[in-house]
Structure 1
Amino acid sequence: MANGRAKTLEDLEIQFTTIGARAQALVESAGPDLCSRPPASGSWSVAECLQHLNVIADAYFPVWQQIIANAGPRKAALNAPYQIDFWGRLISWILEPPARIRSKTPLPFQPVDCNSIDSVLAGFLARQQHIVDTLRRCRGRAIDTVSIASPVDSRIRYSIWSSFLVNAAHQRHHLWQAEQALQKLRSEK
C-alpha cells in the first residue's frame, strides 16, 4: 500500500519507505541546481520542501517517544486495522495531494538552512528510517486510543495512529509540491 489510507503498521512502514525512495529518485533526477531553485518568487524549492518535512518530523519525534512508551497494550488482534479519529481523517484528507485547502506554514516550521540538497536529502532519509523505527516500537500498543496534541497546532488533538497518517499525507503533499516545482522549472528551459 503505497498510497491511500494505511490500516496497519505494516501499511504505514511501506508508505514511509516509499516516500523516502520517491524523494531520493526525485533529487537524483533533478540534480543540485534545480533542487535549490524555487519555481517562482514565494514558492519553495525541492530542498525547501524536504527541509520543511525534516522540521515537522523533528517536532513529532519527542512527542511520539514519550507517548508511545506510555501507551497500553492493544486489545485488538495484532494485525487488526487501526481506527482513525475525526481530526486524523479530516487533516489527512485536506493534505493529500493536491491539497484541498492552502494554508500558511507557521514560522517555526518554515524551511531554513537548506545548505545543500545532499545534506537535506540525507537528513530526510534518516528521519524516514527513524519514523519506521518508531512505528516498529508501536507494535502491540493501543496507539489509536491514546491522544496527543499536534506539535504544529496544540488546539488539535488526535491519536498517535492518526498523527502518523497525517504525517504520511503531509509528506506526500510536499513531495507532490516538489514535483510540481521541478516540472515548472524544466518547462522553462
Structure 2
Amino acid sequence: MDKISLLNQLENQVENHLQQALVKFQNATNEISLKPSDSNGWSIAQCLEHLNTYSHYYLPLFEQEIAKSPDKPEANLIKSSWLGRKSIESMNPETGTKKFKALKNHIPVPDLDAQAVIAEFISHQERLLQIIRLAKSKDIQQIKIPISIAKFLKLNLGDALQFLIVHNERHIQQANRNL
C-alpha cells in the first residue's frame, strides 16, 4: 500500500471515532457513561480513559518524531514490519480474538469524571487527525516510535499509527456495547 492511501484510511477511521465520541458518548448521561458493562467490564468512561492513557504516551512521541523528520512528500510504498503486523492483527477486533489484560498503568479507576474523560478523548482524536495530516509529508517508514510496553522495541510510524487506531477501535466497540 502507498503512504497516502494508508494515511487517508487511518484519517477516515479517526474521523469515525471522533464522530462517535461527539454524537454518542458526549451526549450520554453520567449514569450511562459510568455504568459497568453487563459482564462487569469497563464502563464507557473507563474504555475512553484507557485510550487516553495510550494517547498520553504516543501522541507527544508522534509529534516529536514528525517534527524532527525531513519532508518527503512523495507517496512511497510502505511495508509493515513483522512486529508491526503481529501487533496490529492481535489488537484488531476483526482479526484478534484474544483478550488482553491491561497493564497496571493503563487500568482506569471506576470513579471518573465522565465528561472530562470524554472531552479529553475528543481532544486526542482531533490531535491525532493533525498528526496524520502532518505525516503525509514525511517518510513514515523511517520514523521510529518506541512501543509503550517495551521501549527498546520500535515500530515505524505507519505501524504505530495503525496499532493505536486499531486499539482505539477495539475499545470504542467495547464502549458502544454499553450503550
Range into which the TM-score falls when normalised by the shorter chain: 0.7 to 0.9
Aligned-partner Cα distance in 2 for 1:40–1:153: 33
> Are the equivalent residues in 2 in contact too, given 1:51–1:114 (CA < 8 A)?
no
Aligned-partner Cα distance in 2 for 1:27–1:119: 11
Do structure 1's residue 104 and structure 2's residue 101 form an aligned pair?
A: yes
Measure how far apart 1:23 and its partner are: 2.6
TM-score by length of 2: 0.85
> Are the equivalent residues in 2 in contact too, given 1:147–1:157 (CA < 8 A)?
yes
Q: CA 1:7–1:114 in 2, change beyond 3 Å: closer, same or farther? A: farther
> Are the equivalent residues in 2 in contact too, given 1:51–1:124 (CA < 8 A)?
yes
Do structure 1's residue 138 and structure 2's residue 135 form an aligned pair?
A: yes
| Between 36-45 and 52-61, the greater mean CA deviation after superposition | 36-45
Aligned residues: 175
TM-score by length of 1: 0.81
Alignment of 1:1-189 (within 5 A): 7-27=5-25, 30-40=28-38, 43-74=41-72, 77-78=74-75, 80-97=76-93, 99-112=96-109, 115-182=112-179
Aligned to 1:187: none
Q: Percent identity?
A: 22
Aligned-partner Cα distance in 1 for 2:40–2:58: 26
Aligned-partner Cα distance in 2 for 1:138–1:103: 29
> Are the equivalent residues in 2 in contact too, given 1:54–1:124 (CA < 8 A)?
yes
Aligned-partner Cα distance in 2 for 1:114–1:21: 25
CA RMSD, aligned part only? 2.3
Gaps of 5+ in 2: none
Q: What amino acid sits opposite 2:86 in the alignment?
A: L
Aligned-partner Cα distance in 2 for 1:23–1:81: 32
Helix, strand or coil at the partner of 1:157 = strand
Helix, strand or coil at the partner of 1:149 = strand
Gaps of 5+ in 1: 1-5, 183-189
Aligned-partner Cα distance in 1 for 2:111–2:104: 15
